[in-house]
Amino acid sequence: MSAVPADSRPPVRVRFAPSPTGSLHLGNALTAVANRRFADRHSGALVLRIDDTDAARAVTGGEDAILRDLSWLGIRWDEGPVRQSERGELYEAAARRALEVGAARRDADGSVRVGPVTILRADGTATYQLASVVDDLELGITHVIRGSDHRPNLEPQRAIARAVGGELPEVIHHGLLLGADGKKLSKRHGHASVGDLREEGIPAAAVRAYLEELDLPAHDVRLDPARLQRLAIDAIAALPDAELAAAAEAPPQLARALRGARTLVEAREIAARILSPAPVALGDDAAPTLERFAELRAGAGDPLDEASARAIVRELKAVGGDLRALRLALTGAERGPELWTVVAALGREEALRRTAAAR
Ligand code: GLU
């Protein structure tokens, strides 16, 4: 009946163990977020381990891409990166222990196995199965949290742990993230990796929020692009002006014109169109509007505050001005962000220059 007091349990230690194959698959990012959250909830530590025992699968720059993705998503790690390629001696020693106690056997080709599972290749290098188990023991991992694609590894790894004289930590498998069509999420679906999403202009905060929402799925879940898009819109709305402008590679005064963008790529496009518009030549009908605009703009402040920018547009509308022509003169396009935001974004001199040039 003696309950173990909570504080006598060892501190929680989890690990995230990607293979260095390039930008993180979104499913792996889900695993990373789940491990970080688990560590935070239990005041524990997250160890970053790079599973690079399989030289054939390693990609040049693969580890850097992963570190960059984790930083972009704001996923901290407390220890590491621990590289399996630098820990060969530990694995060999463990295999030797297993051989000594008769828990492993050496085959004719020199490879070593526990039951049907190879733990050392004929060339003496450790397989993922051995390296993963030895590291989980050596690094004092208390909980393994990983995708359910690793469920078949559980029993073999438990056997290997015992063979090398340990016990596997508690293992929690979470459901996988599938494509919207229910198939394994892959390049073909688009937005399959963190790098893809970054390039699509989905803010990091939106990706992180999406993965946090999925929590630790008990079953496989399908990627919901509409939800991701919604979170991207929310994340862009929540960005302070300066950050939104910087993300769109635009000067800060453009921020208000970028507010309607659904992705940062779109924000960049809107900014580019405002900063370097296609030249237009408008007919005489546009002259009264452009003249009136020029008068109003010349008489207003620089930079222009929101109220004054809105007042100029309102005044033009009240006198029946051709707002389409003004938009064309200022942006070279028929459509775009709210007109007052464009008026506010351009300095006085630039706005006057563009209206004069359009006539
Ligand atoms: N390196 C493995 C992977 O990327 C992780 C193995 C594990 O979590 O045990 O899927």
Q: What is the pLDDT of residues 271-294, one digit of tens each?
A: 999 999 999 999 999 999 999 999
Residue 325 to residue 314: CA distance in whole angstroms:
15
Spatial distance between the Cα atoms of 261 and 233, rounded to a whole number of angstroms? 7
Asked whether 18 lines ligand 1 (CB < 6 A), one says yes
Q: What residues form DSSP beta bridges with 147?
A: 174
For residue 225, cis peptide bond before it (omega within 30 degrees of 0): no
CB 74 within 8 A of CB 98: no
Query: What is the distance in A from the centroid of ligand 1 to the CA of 76?
Result: 18
Substitution candidate for ligand 1 out of 13, 19, 135 with most atoms within 8 A of CB: 19
Query: Cα–Cα distance between 125 and 123 in angstroms, integer?
Result: 6
pLDDT digits (tens, 9 = 90+) for 167-178: 999 999 999 999
The pLDDT tens digits of the residues spanning 68-81 come to: 999 999 999 999 99
The mean pLDDT value for 187-210 works out to 92
Nearest CA to ligand 1 atom 9: 132
| pLDDT of amino acid 59 | 82
17 close to ligand 1 (CB < 6 Angstrom) = yes
- pLDDT confidence band for 1 (50 / 70 / 90): very low
257 in helix, strand or coil?
A: helix
Cite the DSSP H helix spans in the chain.
26-41, 62-72, 88-100, 128-138, 154-163, 194-199, 204-214, 225-238, 241-247, 264-275, 287-299, 306-318, 323-331, 339-345, 348-357
Percent of the chain with pLDDT over 70: 98
The answer, yes or no, to whether any atom of ligand 1 lies below 6 A from the CB of 51, is yes
Q: What is the mean pLDDT of residues 45-61?
A: 88
| Cα–ligand 1 centroid distance for 240 (angstroms) | 37
Among residues 57, 39, 69, the alpha carbon closest in space to that of 172 is found at 39
What phi and psi, each to the nearest 5 degrees, are found at residue 82? -95, 120
To test the ligand 1 pocket, which listed residue (150, 154, 158, 185) has its Cβ within 8 A of the most ligand atoms? 150
Would you say residue 6 has pLDDT above 80?
no
User: What are the Cα distances from residue 13, in Å, to 74, 165, 309, 334?
Assistant: 19, 20, 56, 57
Residue 261 clears pLDDT 70, i.e. is over it: yes
CB 326 within 8 A of CB 293: yes
Arithmetic mean of pLDDT, 221-232? 96
Q: Quick one: pLDDT at residue 187?
A: 75
Please give the average per-residue pLDDT across 99-106, as a whole number.
Answer: 98
Q: Compute, in angstroms, the gap from residue 19 CA to the centroid of ligand 1.
A: 7
Task: From the CA of 15, give the closest atom in ligand 1.
Answer: 8
Alpha carbon 107 to its chain centroid, in Å, reads 44
Mean pLDDT score of the chain:
94
